Amino acid sequence: MGAFLETLIGGLMAGMLYSLIALGFVLIFKASGVFNFAQGAMVLFAALAMARFAQWVPQVIGVQDKLLANAIAFVGALALMIVLAWLIERLVLGRLVNQEGITLLMATLGITYFLDGFGQTLFGSDIYKLDVGMPKDPLFMFQNVFQGGILVSKEDLYAAVIAAALVAVLSLFFQKTATGRALRAVADDHQAAQSIGIPLSRIWVIVWSVAGFVALVAGIIWGSKLGVQFSLGLVALKALPVVILGGLTSVPGAIIGGLIIGVGEKLSEVYVGPMFGGGIEIWFAYVLALLFLLVRPQGLFGEKIIDRV
Amino acid sequence: MLYRENGQFKTSYRADQQIFPIVQDRIAIALLLVVAAVVIPWTAPEYLFRAILIPFLILSLAALGLNILVGYCGQISLGTGAFMAVGAYAAYNFTVRIQGMPLIVALLLGGVCATAIGVLFGIPSLRIKGLYLAVATLAAQFFTDWAFLRIKWFTNDSLSGSVNVGGLQVFGWPIDTPVQKYLFCLAFVVVFALLAKNLVRGHLGREWMAIRDMDVAAEVIGIRPVYAKLTAFAVSSFIVGVAGGLWGFVHLGSWEPAAFSIDRSFQLLFMVIIGGLGSVMGSFFGAAFIVVVPIFLDQALPALGSMVGLHIDTATVSHIVFMIFGTLIVFFLIVEPHGMARLWSTGKEKLRLWPFPH
């Protein structure tokens, strides 16, 4: 029972991180109808920027306080992501208005490649440590319930709290602010939103900036856990099934989908994996999403797509 | 001045519907084939075969297969690498397990296996499309990556899924030197290109294009979407599977699943986009471009860098190649969605009218 719960909690934590990346997908898809394949590259780019800035700030400006240096690096990386969002809107999306979804998808594939190359040319391609003061020591819980208790990494707990806070802030932003309302209007209907005077291009910049911000947070959490390296970008491929499962247009869907995938992955790896020779983590999420697509193409919480195929 | 079609009158439907209706085109293609089959094997250095010509031929075959699916039928696939892997490993199994299996038959049977897997993963396309389908094909990619790494039966119990083949021969001729390998691949490519060209201009190709352009309208005029989509998946993955077999057997000789990873899928998709969606010719342009550009930059960038006093190492070059490919993808999607093939035909049109603008 203890081992089962440990796997379950491990899965939930991993799922939380998938959710964070999936959130970026959903935000952009809702607001601009673009399936942003580049979200993973954005995570990598943001994490690289953060890691390098945190290294450079003490050297160049001479700020020795670690918290302050990290804060400056965070602001710098965020500014970089906003510039990136603006450039993407200006150079890519603005010129592909009214194109089919598939063309936009391929364009984001191009952005992915560009960002992968650009980030590594600019910031170097080694593995960087990212230390934002997340505690590394493990935590034993329920020691009085089970023999030996359950091992939970404190880092994961912090990450989960941060992710939950991020989701709360984002939903407040979407529900309560004027910009959030404008974003939802654009998501509902581009033309109608434009005709009542909502500037589409600015909305897109905002949405990509928010996605950049989410990518930065996800990148910091993943990066402090695993180190900032190229494989971070591949984590985003794990987030694709999450959005399919949860529904492309639903923020809660991204969260719950992420949790399901995270838990399912870990549990299946431990309990079903040995039957197939192990390593089924790689495709489990995808096959789950594939089966889901056959039964319920809009996902758990997505809007029903009325579309003849 | 030379490129004119004046005076070339067609007196039969047959003559009107041939692949290259203009005499000059036929001459050019014949010349190209002669150069490819006779002149190059005599003159080109060995490095050229290994690094450029053989990869170019095989990858353009794979790109051709993918183009049928993406360019002609409009069904996006990010799992091309998977179908290549199925072709390669299936052909390997046929050679290892059946004594005296001829090479060509093994490769074609590998293609047949890839067809089966392609149709299987194409079934979701009957219910979903666009980006959802992209995810479904990604599932194929990850699943085969895993299967060939972990299921020992497929790889004849070899470690980490790496297998090797040797002593290739066709009708008693060995396929050993780069020139022989090149000619072998060339034969495959020519045959399959001809087949594909005829398929896409026949009724099947027209069905695919109708589905691509507007599926509802296609259904209304009596095209069965199920049949059209699944045949596109079948034909596409057959060609891709054969290309995978060639890649493994002829180009690599020994390989492991990583040779057919998701990067390969993206690379092929890029070839199709840059070369031209929905064009047989475009597949060749795209493959040539994507094979040659990294090699060219590998040589040129360090030289350029040293001229301005910068040291550029190979890792940086590979990152710059990434950047350039990414930029080009976006550039082509914005400026010329039909890729280099369209540039080529625009150029031909200009040449026909030259020196008058109209």
Confidence at residue B49, expressed as pLDDT on a 0 to 100 scale: 86
Q: Which of residues 139-198 of B touch A (CB under 8 A)?
A: 139, 142-143, 145-146, 149-152
- Asked if residue A190 belongs to a domain, the reply is yes
CA distance B29 to chain A (A): 32
At B237, is the pLDDT very low, low, confident or very high (cuts 50, 70, 90)? very high
Say how far apart CA A185 and CA A208 lie, in whole Å.
Answer: 16
pTM reported for the whole predicted model: 0.87
Q: Which of residues 206-245 of A touch B (CB under 8 A)?
A: 237, 240-241, 244
Amino acid B98 reads: I
CA distance A282 to chain B (A): 7
At A277, is the pLDDT very low, low, confident or very high (cuts 50, 70, 90)? low
Q: pLDDT digits over B27-83, tens only? A: 888 999 998 888 888 888 888 888 889 999 999 999 999 999 999 998 888 889 999
Q: Could you report the predicted ipTM of this complex, rounded to two decimals?
A: 0.82
Angle at A94 between CA A90 and CA A99, to 5 degrees: 150
pLDDT surpasses 80 at B267: yes
Distances (CA, A) of A88 to A24, A84, A209: 15, 6, 10
* Mutation for A interface: B67, B120, B138, B216, most A CBs within 10 A: B138
Inter-chain residue contact A114 with B327, CB threshold 8 Å: yes
Domain B46-353's class? mainly alpha
Inter-chain residue contact A103 with B337, CB threshold 8 Å: yes
- Asked if residue A189 belongs to a domain, the reply is yes
- Give the best-scoring range by mean pLDDT among A7-21, A265-279, B188-202: B188-202
Q: What is the 3-state secondary structure (H, E, C) of chain B?
A: CCCCCCCCCCCCHHHHCCCCCCHHHHHHHHHHHHHHHHHHHHHCCHHHHHHHHHHHHHHHHHHHHHHHHHHHCCCCCCCHHHHHHHHHHHHHHHHHHCCCCCHHHHHHHHHHHHHHHHHHHHHHHHCCCCHHHHHHHHHHHHHHHHHHHHCHHHHCCCHHHCEECCCCEECCEECCCHHHHHHHHHHHHHHHHHHHHHHHHCHHHHHHHHHHHCHHHHHHCCCCHHHHHHHHHHHHHHHHHHHHHHHHHHHHCEECHHHHCHHHHHHHHHHHHHHCCCCHHHHHHHHHHHHHHHHHHHHHHHHHHHHCCCCCCHHHHHHHHHHHHHHHHHHHHHHCCCHHHHHHHHHHHHHHHCCCCC
Inter-chain residue contact B128 with A297, CB threshold 8 Å: yes
CA distance A121 to chain B (A): 6
Q: Which of residues 8-47 of A touch B (CB under 8 A)?
A: 35
Across the interface, of B142, B266, B270, the residue whose CB is closest to A282 is B142
The answer to whether the beta carbons of residues B298 and B118 sit under 8 Å apart is: no
- Contact of B330 with chain A, judged by CB distance below 8 Å, is answered with yes
Q: What is the mean pLDDT of residues A199-214?
A: 88
Range of the domain at A25: 2-295
At A121, is the pLDDT very low, low, confident or very high (cuts 50, 70, 90)? confident
pLDDT surpasses 70 at B225: yes
Q: What is the mean pLDDT of residues A95-102?
A: 77
Q: pLDDT digits over B115-165, tens only? A: 999 999 888 888 777 777 888 888 888 888 888 887 878 877 777 778 888
Confidence at residue A150, expressed as pLDDT on a 0 to 100 scale: 65
- Asked if residue A303 belongs to a domain, the reply is no
Q: What is the mean pLDDT of chain A?
A: 81
- Asked if residue A87 belongs to a domain, the reply is yes
Who wins on pLDDT, B197 or B124? Answer: B197
The number of domains in chain A is 1
pLDDT surpasses 80 at B185: yes
- Asked if residue A301 belongs to a domain, the reply is no
Least confident of A81-90, B79-88, B327-336: B327-336
Q: Where in chain B are the domains?
A: 46-353
- Asked if residue A247 belongs to a domain, the reply is yes
The answer to whether the beta carbons of residues B169 and B103 sit under 8 Å apart is: yes
